[in-house]
Amino acid sequence: KNEEELQKKLLSLWQARRDRTILVQEYLNIDQEYAISGVCADQEIIIPAVVKKKRIAGYRRGITLMGELVSLEEIEEVRDAVYRFLQSLHYVGLFDLELMRVGNEIYFGEMNFRSGGPHYSYFASGVNLPLATVQAIHDGKPDEVPSIQLHKTFLNDSEAWADYQHGALNRSGLKRLYKEADILLLQNEEDPAPGKLYLHRARIAKAKLSIKSLLKK
Protein backbone atom coordinates (compact mmCIF):
# COMPACT_ATOMS: atom_id res chain seq x y z
CA LYS A 1 0.00 0.00 0.00
CA ASN A 2 2.95 2.35 0.48
CA GLU A 3 6.75 2.64 0.23
CA GLU A 4 7.30 1.37 3.78
CA GLU A 5 5.39 -1.86 3.10
CA LEU A 6 7.30 -2.33 -0.14
CA GLN A 7 10.66 -1.95 1.61
CA LYS A 8 9.66 -4.45 4.30
CA LYS A 9 8.55 -6.97 1.70
CA LEU A 10 11.70 -6.56 -0.36
CA LEU A 11 13.84 -7.01 2.76
CA SER A 12 12.01 -10.23 3.74
CA LEU A 13 12.41 -11.62 0.22
CA TRP A 14 16.11 -10.72 0.22
CA GLN A 15 16.63 -12.41 3.60
CA ALA A 16 14.90 -15.57 2.38
CA ARG A 17 16.86 -15.77 -0.86
CA ARG A 18 19.51 -13.28 -1.90
CA ASP A 19 20.10 -14.38 -5.48
CA ARG A 20 16.63 -13.54 -6.77
CA THR A 21 15.67 -10.73 -9.14
CA ILE A 22 12.52 -8.71 -8.48
CA LEU A 23 10.52 -6.49 -10.82
CA VAL A 24 8.55 -3.72 -9.08
CA GLN A 25 5.75 -2.05 -11.01
CA GLU A 26 3.96 1.16 -10.12
CA TYR A 27 0.18 0.95 -9.94
CA LEU A 28 -1.48 3.52 -12.20
CA ASN A 29 -4.98 4.73 -11.44
CA ILE A 30 -6.12 5.32 -15.03
CA ASP A 31 -8.40 8.30 -15.66
CA GLN A 32 -8.95 7.74 -19.39
CA GLU A 33 -7.94 5.15 -21.99
CA TYR A 34 -7.49 5.75 -25.71
CA ALA A 35 -7.20 3.44 -28.71
CA ILE A 36 -5.73 4.62 -32.01
CA SER A 37 -6.23 2.75 -35.29
CA GLY A 38 -4.22 3.89 -38.28
CA VAL A 39 -1.91 3.10 -41.17
CA CYS A 40 1.85 3.46 -41.49
CA ALA A 41 3.38 3.94 -44.92
CA ASP A 42 6.95 4.22 -43.61
CA GLN A 43 7.24 7.97 -42.97
CA GLU A 44 3.63 8.81 -43.85
CA ILE A 45 1.31 8.18 -40.92
CA ILE A 46 -2.49 8.15 -41.18
CA ILE A 47 -4.40 8.68 -37.94
CA PRO A 48 -7.91 9.97 -38.76
CA ALA A 49 -9.17 10.05 -35.16
CA VAL A 50 -8.69 8.75 -31.64
CA VAL A 51 -11.07 6.37 -29.89
CA LYS A 52 -11.91 7.73 -26.45
CA LYS A 53 -12.98 4.70 -24.46
CA LYS A 54 -16.29 5.30 -22.69
CA ARG A 55 -16.74 1.86 -21.19
CA ILE A 56 -14.57 -1.25 -20.69
CA ALA A 57 -15.97 -4.79 -20.83
CA GLY A 58 -16.65 -6.39 -17.46
CA TYR A 59 -16.44 -10.09 -18.35
CA ARG A 60 -13.35 -9.95 -20.55
CA ARG A 61 -11.50 -7.19 -18.74
CA GLY A 62 -9.55 -4.67 -20.76
CA ILE A 63 -11.54 -4.95 -24.00
CA THR A 64 -13.23 -1.77 -25.23
CA LEU A 65 -17.00 -2.08 -24.85
CA MET A 66 -17.99 1.42 -26.00
CA GLY A 67 -15.99 4.30 -27.42
CA GLU A 68 -16.30 7.67 -29.14
CA LEU A 69 -14.29 8.92 -32.10
CA VAL A 70 -12.64 12.21 -31.16
CA SER A 71 -10.06 14.57 -32.65
CA LEU A 72 -6.31 14.12 -32.13
CA GLU A 73 -6.50 17.29 -30.03
CA GLU A 74 -7.57 14.94 -27.24
CA ILE A 75 -3.92 13.77 -27.03
CA GLU A 76 -2.38 17.06 -28.19
CA GLU A 77 0.52 16.93 -25.71
CA VAL A 78 1.86 13.62 -27.08
CA ARG A 79 0.61 13.75 -30.67
CA ASP A 80 4.00 14.66 -32.18
CA ALA A 81 5.73 12.01 -30.05
CA VAL A 82 3.31 9.36 -31.36
CA TYR A 83 4.06 10.35 -34.97
CA ARG A 84 7.83 10.31 -34.36
CA PHE A 85 7.59 6.89 -32.71
CA LEU A 86 5.62 5.42 -35.62
CA GLN A 87 7.99 6.93 -38.19
CA SER A 88 10.96 5.43 -36.35
CA LEU A 89 9.57 1.93 -36.97
CA HIS A 90 9.67 2.22 -40.81
CA TYR A 91 6.59 0.03 -40.76
CA VAL A 92 4.05 -0.41 -43.57
CA GLY A 93 0.62 -1.66 -42.56
CA LEU A 94 -2.27 -1.35 -40.12
CA PHE A 95 -1.63 -0.72 -36.44
CA ASP A 96 -3.56 -0.46 -33.20
CA LEU A 97 -2.02 1.64 -30.43
CA GLU A 98 -3.25 2.29 -26.89
CA LEU A 99 -2.56 5.20 -24.53
CA MET A 100 -3.62 5.92 -20.95
CA ARG A 101 -4.14 9.26 -19.25
CA VAL A 102 -3.16 9.31 -15.57
CA GLY A 103 -3.59 12.75 -14.05
CA ASN A 104 -1.60 15.16 -16.22
CA GLU A 105 0.52 12.41 -17.78
CA ILE A 106 -0.13 10.17 -20.79
CA TYR A 107 1.42 6.69 -20.80
CA PHE A 108 2.06 4.29 -23.68
CA GLY A 109 0.04 1.11 -23.25
CA GLU A 110 0.74 -1.21 -26.18
CA MET A 111 0.93 -1.43 -29.94
CA ASN A 112 -0.32 -4.23 -32.18
CA PHE A 113 0.71 -4.58 -35.82
CA ARG A 114 -2.80 -5.47 -36.95
CA SER A 115 -6.38 -4.24 -37.00
CA GLY A 116 -7.74 -3.50 -33.52
CA GLY A 117 -11.16 -4.12 -31.98
CA PRO A 118 -12.59 -0.60 -32.58
CA HIS A 119 -11.24 -0.53 -36.14
CA TYR A 120 -14.61 -0.85 -37.88
CA SER A 121 -15.85 2.35 -36.25
CA TYR A 122 -13.41 4.28 -38.49
CA PHE A 123 -14.87 2.69 -41.62
CA ALA A 124 -18.43 3.37 -40.42
CA SER A 125 -17.41 7.02 -39.93
CA GLY A 126 -16.08 7.51 -43.44
CA VAL A 127 -12.44 6.32 -43.54
CA ASN A 128 -11.42 3.02 -45.14
CA LEU A 129 -8.13 2.14 -43.42
CA PRO A 130 -7.79 -1.33 -45.05
CA LEU A 131 -7.95 0.33 -48.48
CA ALA A 132 -5.26 2.83 -47.46
CA THR A 133 -3.15 -0.11 -46.23
CA VAL A 134 -3.42 -1.95 -49.56
CA GLN A 135 -2.48 1.25 -51.41
CA ALA A 136 0.52 1.79 -49.11
CA ILE A 137 1.75 -1.76 -49.68
CA HIS A 138 1.05 -1.87 -53.43
CA ASP A 139 1.80 1.70 -54.49
CA GLY A 140 4.07 2.84 -51.66
CA LYS A 141 1.71 5.71 -50.89
CA PRO A 142 -2.01 5.74 -49.99
CA ASP A 143 -4.49 8.10 -51.58
CA GLU A 144 -5.60 11.14 -49.61
CA VAL A 145 -7.86 10.03 -46.76
CA PRO A 146 -11.21 11.85 -46.49
CA SER A 147 -12.23 13.67 -43.32
CA ILE A 148 -13.76 11.40 -40.71
CA GLN A 149 -17.08 11.99 -38.94
CA LEU A 150 -16.18 12.68 -35.32
CA HIS A 151 -18.14 12.09 -32.12
CA LYS A 152 -19.82 8.91 -33.28
CA THR A 153 -20.18 6.34 -30.52
CA PHE A 154 -19.69 2.63 -31.25
CA LEU A 155 -20.75 -0.43 -29.29
CA ASN A 156 -18.74 -3.65 -29.32
CA ASP A 157 -21.95 -5.67 -29.35
CA SER A 158 -20.31 -9.08 -28.98
CA GLU A 159 -18.67 -7.94 -25.72
CA ALA A 160 -21.95 -6.37 -24.57
CA TRP A 161 -23.65 -9.73 -25.00
CA ALA A 162 -20.77 -11.50 -23.24
CA ASP A 163 -21.24 -9.14 -20.28
CA TYR A 164 -24.99 -9.80 -20.35
CA GLN A 165 -24.55 -13.58 -20.57
CA HIS A 166 -22.17 -13.70 -17.62
CA GLY A 167 -23.99 -11.27 -15.33
CA ALA A 168 -21.76 -8.22 -15.71
CA LEU A 169 -24.64 -6.39 -17.39
CA ASN A 170 -28.41 -6.71 -16.93
CA ARG A 171 -31.04 -6.64 -19.69
CA SER A 172 -31.95 -2.98 -19.21
CA GLY A 173 -28.27 -2.05 -19.25
CA LEU A 174 -27.81 -3.95 -22.51
CA LYS A 175 -30.76 -2.13 -24.10
CA ARG A 176 -29.41 1.22 -22.90
CA LEU A 177 -26.04 0.59 -24.55
CA TYR A 178 -27.74 -0.22 -27.86
CA LYS A 179 -29.72 3.03 -27.67
CA GLU A 180 -26.57 5.08 -26.99
CA ALA A 181 -24.62 3.61 -29.92
CA ASP A 182 -24.39 5.15 -33.39
CA ILE A 183 -22.31 2.23 -34.69
CA LEU A 184 -22.47 -1.51 -33.95
CA LEU A 185 -19.34 -3.51 -34.69
CA LEU A 186 -21.25 -6.64 -35.74
CA GLN A 187 -24.66 -5.56 -37.02
CA ASN A 188 -25.04 -3.63 -40.26
CA GLU A 189 -28.17 -3.00 -42.36
CA GLU A 190 -26.18 -3.42 -45.60
CA ASP A 191 -24.87 -6.83 -44.49
CA PRO A 192 -27.40 -8.11 -41.93
CA ALA A 193 -26.80 -11.88 -42.06
CA PRO A 194 -23.68 -12.08 -39.80
CA GLY A 195 -25.27 -9.88 -37.12
CA LYS A 196 -28.51 -11.87 -37.14
CA LEU A 197 -26.62 -15.15 -36.89
CA TYR A 198 -24.54 -13.85 -33.98
CA LEU A 199 -27.62 -12.59 -32.08
CA HIS A 200 -29.35 -15.95 -32.58
CA ARG A 201 -26.37 -17.80 -31.11
CA ALA A 202 -25.92 -15.25 -28.32
CA ARG A 203 -29.55 -15.60 -27.21
CA ILE A 204 -29.25 -19.40 -27.16
CA ALA A 205 -26.04 -19.17 -25.12
CA LYS A 206 -27.73 -16.81 -22.64
CA ALA A 207 -30.71 -19.16 -22.30
CA LYS A 208 -28.42 -22.13 -21.62
CA LEU A 209 -26.51 -20.23 -18.94
CA SER A 210 -29.80 -19.13 -17.30
CA ILE A 211 -31.07 -22.75 -17.25
CA LYS A 212 -27.81 -23.98 -15.71
CA SER A 213 -28.03 -21.28 -13.06
CA LEU A 214 -31.62 -22.28 -12.17
CA LEU A 215 -30.72 -25.99 -11.99
CA LYS A 216 -27.89 -25.24 -9.55
CA LYS A 217 -30.38 -23.56 -7.22
Q: Whole-angstrom Cα distance, residue 74 to residue 34?
A: 9
Q: What is the mean pLDDT of residues 59-84?
A: 95
More confident residue, 207 or 148: 148
pLDDT attached to residue 213: 78
pLDDT of residue 4: 94
pLDDT at residue 89 in the model: 97
The model's confidence at residue 146, banded by pLDDT at 50, 70 and 90, is very high
Q: Please, what is the average pLDDT of the chain?
A: 93
Please tell me the predicted confidence (pLDDT) of residue 20.
87
Q: Is the pLDDT assigned to residue 216 strictly greater than 80?
A: no
With a cut of 90, say whether residue 214 has pLDDT above it.
no
With beta carbons less than 8 A apart as the criterion, state whether 156 and 145 touch.
Answer: no
List the beta bridge partners of residue 40.
Answer: 45, 93
State the pLDDT confidence band at 155, using cuts at 50, 70 and 90: very high
Task: Report residue 8's pLDDT band, with 50, 70 and 90 as the boundaries.
Answer: very high
* Mean pLDDT, rounded, for 92-115: 95
pLDDT at 156: 94
Residue percentage of the chain with pLDDT more than 90:
73
What is the per-residue pLDDT for 25? 85
What's the whole-number mean pLDDT along residues 165-190?
A: 92
Residue 66 in this model has a pLDDT that exceeds 90: yes
Of the listed ranges 3-12, 66-75, 206-215, the one predicted with least confidence: 206-215
